[in-house]
Structures are given as C-alpha cells and as structure tokens.
Amino acid sequence: MVKNTASSTTRTNTIAWLVVGTVIGCLTGLLLLEKKRNREKSSREKSGKGEEQGYQNFQWCHYEHCGGLQEKRKRLPELVILLRHGESEANADHTLWRTKPDNQIKLTDTGIQQSKEAGRRIEALFESYEKETSTSIKRVQIHVSPFERTLQTIAAAIPYFEHRVVQTLPESRIREQETGNFSKRNVDSFREEQLKVGRFWYRFPTGESGADVYDRVKSWWFESILTTNEQVGYDHVDAIVVVTHSLSMRFVLMQLYNWSPTTFHSVWSSGVCDMYVLRKDLNKRGTSPYDLDRQRGDMPRSSMDMSLRLKQGRNVSDTSELSVEERIYRLHDYLDVPPPRMRHIGVIKQKLAEEYPKLDANAIDTISFELNGTALNEEQEF
C-alpha cells in the first residue's frame, strides 16, 4: 500500500514538472519573438523604410527604374505624328454622308493638295529634328485608317519621305466613329441628341459611342505603338506617322493626358491635315512618355462655355444689348488651365478677366459650367 502511494506521488511530480517546463518554454519563445519584432521595427524606422515607404519604392521601381521597363521606354520611337486626312467630299458637302458610305468618302482636289503639303511638312520636320537633336530618323512606320480618304491622304503625302518608310500598316482600330445606319428623316434628331448627351457618351443607333472609339484607340496605342520596337525579327523604328481622323487624334491625347470626358468635350475638332507631334520625353513617368511638341506641330484648340454670377446676385455681362440672364461666357484655351481644371477657379477667373477686359474677376461669385462643352458645334468630323 505504501509502495503504490509513493509511485503515484512520483508520477504526479513528473507531470507537474513537464507542465511547468512547457509553460516556461512557451513564455521564453514569446519573449524572444517579441524582441525580434522590436529589433526589425527599430531597424526599419532607423533606415527610413517603413512598410508604406517600401511599397511606394516598389511602385516607383516597377513603373520607372526597374531595368527592363526603363530599357523598353528608351526603345520607344522618338516621334509619333498624328495626321488628320485632307479635305473630304463630306467636308465640302455636309449632306453627302447621308447618302454615301462613310468609308467610301474621298478627298477633294483641295484635300489632295493639302495632303501633299502635309508630306512636305513631315519631311521638313524629320530633317530639322535630326539637325537639332543629332538623332537619326531613318526608319519610319506608318499606321493608316483603312477609309478611302485616309488612304488617299497617305498616298499623296508619302512620296516626300518615302525613302524613310519601312512599313505601312492598315489599322481598323483608328477608323472613324461608326454612326450606324442613318435615314434622311432621323439624322438631324440624332445630332441634336448627341449635343445634349455629349460626344463621348452618346451612342448612335446601330453605331458606336465615343467611349467605344476611345476603348479601341487606347487598345491600339498600348498593343501596337508601345510595342513597336519589341517585335522579334524587326529592326528598330525611329518614328511613326499615323494617318487617321480628328476623333481618334483627340482620343490619343485623352488617354495620354488623362482627360476627363468634360475636358474632352471642350476640345475642338482638328483642322484638315492638322498634325499633332508627340515627342518622347523620358523625364515623364509612366509607360507612355510622350508630350506634345508645340514648336513642330499644331496644338489642339479648346473652349468651355460657362455662366457667371456676381456676388451681388445678378449675372455678369459686359454687353448692354444682351439680357444679363442669357449671357454665357466662352473661355478659350481651356486646356491651359491646370488639371483638375474645375478646381482651379482662381485661374479660370483670371483667364476670363484677361479675355473679357470689362469683367472684374473679384466680382465673380459662382461659375456654372456647360459640362458637355462647346466643341461639338465647331466643325463636323468626316
């Protein structure tokens, strides 16, 4: 009986020591883990590379400084020239597109001459760029909308710089907006609806919205332009000439500069054979390091209509003949307002005062913007 009691006591003591040992081991492990975490935290704080800073550095590396992507940016063509077609039959006769398929509309004789002049201008641009930058423009690639008027435009322009051209690519993604199947009776009502809704948003029955065109133009830019010099087996391209339509040209700029639909609506249709020159600038961030060259190309025009109200509660007007309640001011060069444009009210007031000398910027209380813009009325596309 005494032996059994002693044996039981021994087993109890053994279990107790095992439990105590386990608890001590766990506590020791927790203390060591906490010390390790504190050392790591202290190290991050001293080096100035906390988690947030580290993530930001990763993003910057990913988009700018990582070797592979930075080298890809350097390989991009020096210039991308966006050229609108010359004067078309529908530019001369705005009723023609109601009866003739859009893709079959041709250039006028004036349009042919304009296209030839555009070719001379492009060659002169290449020559001056080579002289001023010591950068050779020997290999030029052409992207052209497969519409008749754009094909005629490049055919008339290309002889002046043909010795540089290595490839011509028809590209349907930069064609004109599909306006659907019109009838003579309802076309005017469609245009009126488009003005109310906005060019970017309005979808023609059986046709496209501006947003649809934007999506395909952006797809072409990222999948074709930005990968031009990544094609296996092809030589390096120094410049790209894009022969397209006014709407496509504006959508290239929209995705390049991150315009809002409201800003897009403020931009006018380009003139026939207008040329936007995009020059590579590796100081810009992102995968599309291009900027408009103001010296070598045309610049997009823009304007925004807005209604003003004085602090006294009445509309501002600098014209005595016009009812003050109906007075709407048009601010030109709206693109010159820094983005986000509608938040720079002070800049807008100052620009209005400069454009309308009788207007006191300090007297303006509120500004109401016409959000669908004014550019839609400036010129038909075609």
355 catalytic residue (yes or no)? no
64 in a labelled binding site: no
- Residue 357 makes CB contacts below 8 A (sequence gap 6+) with none
54 in a labelled binding site: no
Catalytic residue among 78, 85, 148, 208: 85
d(CA 79, CA 120): 17
85 in a labelled binding site: yes
User: Which residue, chain included where needed, has tokens 């930075």?
Assistant: 70
266 in a labelled binding site: no
239 in a labelled binding site: no
91 in a labelled binding site: yes
Catalytic residue among 123, 171, 176, 208: 176
For 379, the token pair is: 């010129």
Where do the H-state alpha helices sit in the chain?
2-47, 51-60, 67-75, 89-92, 109-133, 148-157, 187-197, 210-220, 246-257, 261-266, 345-355
57 in a labelled binding site: no
| CA distance readout (Å), 142 to 107, 124, 160, 239, 371 | 19, 17, 14, 9, 36
68 in a labelled binding site: no
For 88, the token pair is: 């078309």
88 in a labelled binding site: yes
65 catalytic residue (yes or no)? no
Work out the angle between the directed axes of helices 246-257 and 210-220 (0-180°, nearest 10).
70
User: Which residue, chain included where needed, has tokens 């592979």?
Assistant: 68
Q: Which residues are catalytic?
A: 85, 176
Give the annotated binding-site residues for substrate: 84-91, 149
Give the annotated binding-site residues: 84-91, 149
